[in-house]
Amino acid sequence: MSSPEQWAHPEPGDATAATAAKPTPEQVIAGLRATTEGGADLTQLLTPEGERIASPIFDPYVADVDAEALRELYRDMVLVRRADREANAMQRQGQLGIWVPLLGQEAAQIGSGRALRPTDMAFPSYREHGVGYARGVDFRELLGIFRCSDQGGWDFKEHGFHPYTIVIGNQVLNACGYAMGQKFEGKVGNTDGQGNPSETDEATIVYFGDGATSQGDVHEGFVWAAVYDAPLVFFCQNNQWAISEPTERQSRLPLYQRARGYGFPGIRVDGNDVLGCLAVTRWALEVCRNGNGPVLIEAFTYRMDAHTTTDDPTRYRLSDELEAWKLKDPIERVRVHLTRNGGADAAFFAEVDAASDAFAAELRDYCFNMPDPTPERIFANVYAEPSPVLDAQRDEFLAYLEGFDGAEEAGSEAPGVVKAGER
């Protein structure tokens, strides 16, 4: 495999040197291999075949993960996948306006999400349903966003889980500011009486995708976190696709290597390996909490479903690719590992399946019965302080709506009025 240095630094005067627009065939192959295999620097603790690989660096970070803990990670992933599939189906049935599937990214989200302490803060983009679940957010609370009933209503402080951010990359700077605040408040780099790192130190993690790495806000976030030593873990889920654009459209360089240019560590972890994601994220959070500044994690994973329910991946990628990634499924490898090593029996897997079906049924019931917001909601909480102007607009509009009541009862529309809002 050619090294990134070779791609980026053609020899002076070498007229045949490749450019981003026109790579050599060898570079194309190298790039494809890097995309599908994760490259030589991929950190992995659990192979797709369920084999545990020893890692002197990262094993200590998951020394506490016994069979029981692994079963819980398995359960988390199965529940989250089941909920994701149910939500996807409910969109198809017209119960949700849109759904943003996480299928295939369960390990990246549960592994990293479970690495956080309650006092840490997570800033998601809009696909982090698994992280939200790991942070204790009721999965049902995510549905309102996609049913378009609300815009996210969980208790952000209690769960340490910021609202979803839909504008690509914005949350990276917001997370950076939050992390700077943690540092300014003296919440990093402390020790207890014995000289061990303090249990009350904090860090922030921010989630974004491979596409977001092209956004200015992400680059600015890298710069800011670096110069202020902000305790911020940049968690990039490289799921290979930004809607229809492959990672190659975002970068010449493997994404984790970008960190070097900003002056902090970058690491690529197998994003389909829940144990690897847990270990690497715990390590990165420790680096941050100890006051060493930011870390970039590239979780190398795959978006097994569409970008959203409005997307049609058959227009831009081959089904072969999906089939190849199915062999690296994040859940299956844990199941195989547990089975082979006697960490779980058939009864356990059956119980988790039943629990996930029950979980899905609850979601379904909740979603179908979710009340629509009332028109007052339009005008509520635009400002923290009272707004007489908006109060007046609201009152005028509600009075206008009331004018329809009589007309409805009489079975006809109010004369001269076709639609609300046409005034």
Active-site annotation, residues: 303, 307, 316
- Regarding 220 and contact with another protein (CB under 8 A), the answer is yes
Candidate residues 32, 184, 406, 417; the one interacting with another protein per rule CB under 8 A:
184
Q: Indicate which single residue of 113, 221, 266, 330 sits in contact with another protein (rule: CB under 8 A).
A: 221
Q: Where are the alpha helices (DSSP H) in 38-121?
A: 67-92, 106-113
User: How far is it, in rounded angstroms, from Cα 31 to Cα 14?
Assistant: 21
How many residues sit in the footprint of another protein (CB under 8 A)? 42
| Cβ-based nearer residue to another protein, 43 or 204 | 204
Q: Positive or negative, the Cα torsion across 83, 89, 91, 93?
A: negative
Residue 160 interacts with another protein (CB under 8 A): yes or no:
no
> Is residue 175 involved in binding another protein (CB under 8 A)?
yes
Pairwise CA distance, residues 86 & 79, whole Å: 10
What pairing do the DSSP bridges indicate for beta strands 121-123 and 204-209?
parallel
For the beta carbon of residue 233, count every other beta carbon within 10 angstroms.
29
Q: How far is the CB of 219 from another protein (least distance, A)?
A: 9
Q: How far is the CB of 221 from another protein (least distance, A)?
A: 7
Q: Is 136 a binder of another protein (CB under 8 A)?
A: no
By CB under 8 A, which span of 61-69, 73-81, 108-116, 375-383 interacts with another protein?
375-383
Which residues in 382-411 contact another protein (CB under 8 A)? 382-385, 387-389
CB 281 within 8 A of CB 111: yes
Judged by DSSP in three states, 270 sits in strand
Distance CA 406, CA 17 (A): 77
Measured from the CB of residue 156, what is the shortest distance to another protein in angstroms?
6
CA–CA gap between residue 275 and residue 108 (Å, rounded): 9
Cα separation, 284 vs 288, in Å, equals 6
Among 150, 199, 351, 365, binds another protein (CB under 8 A): 150
Both tokens of 243, joined, read 């809607």
- Rounded CA separation 44/40 (Å): 11
> Shortest distance, CB of residue 193 to another protein, whole angstroms?
26
Pick from 71, 156, 355, 370 the residue near another protein by CB under 8 A.
Answer: 156
Contact string 67-106 vs another protein (x = CB under 8 A): ----------------------------------------
Placement of tokens 């110069």 in the chain? 227
Q: Which stretch binds another protein (CB under 8 A): 72-80, 98-106, 162-170, 239-247?
A: 162-170
Asked if 189 is part of the footprint of another protein (rule: CB under 8 A), the reply reads no
Stretch that binds another protein, among 215-223, 321-329, 337-345, 411-419 (CB under 8 A): 215-223
35, 250 Cβ separation under 8 angstroms: no
Nearest-angstrom CA–CA distance, 178 and 121? 8
Q: Which is nearer to another protein, 355 or 390 (CB)?
A: 390
Of 237, 217, 220, 211, the closest CA to residue 296 belongs to 237
Contact with another protein (CB under 8 A) among 172, 280, 288, 344: 172
* C-beta neighbour count of 409 within 10 angstroms: 8
Question: What is the binding site for another protein (CB under 8 A)?
Answer: 123, 150-153, 155-157, 162-163, 165, 167, 170, 172-182, 184-185, 216-217, 220-221, 223-224, 227, 380-385, 387-389
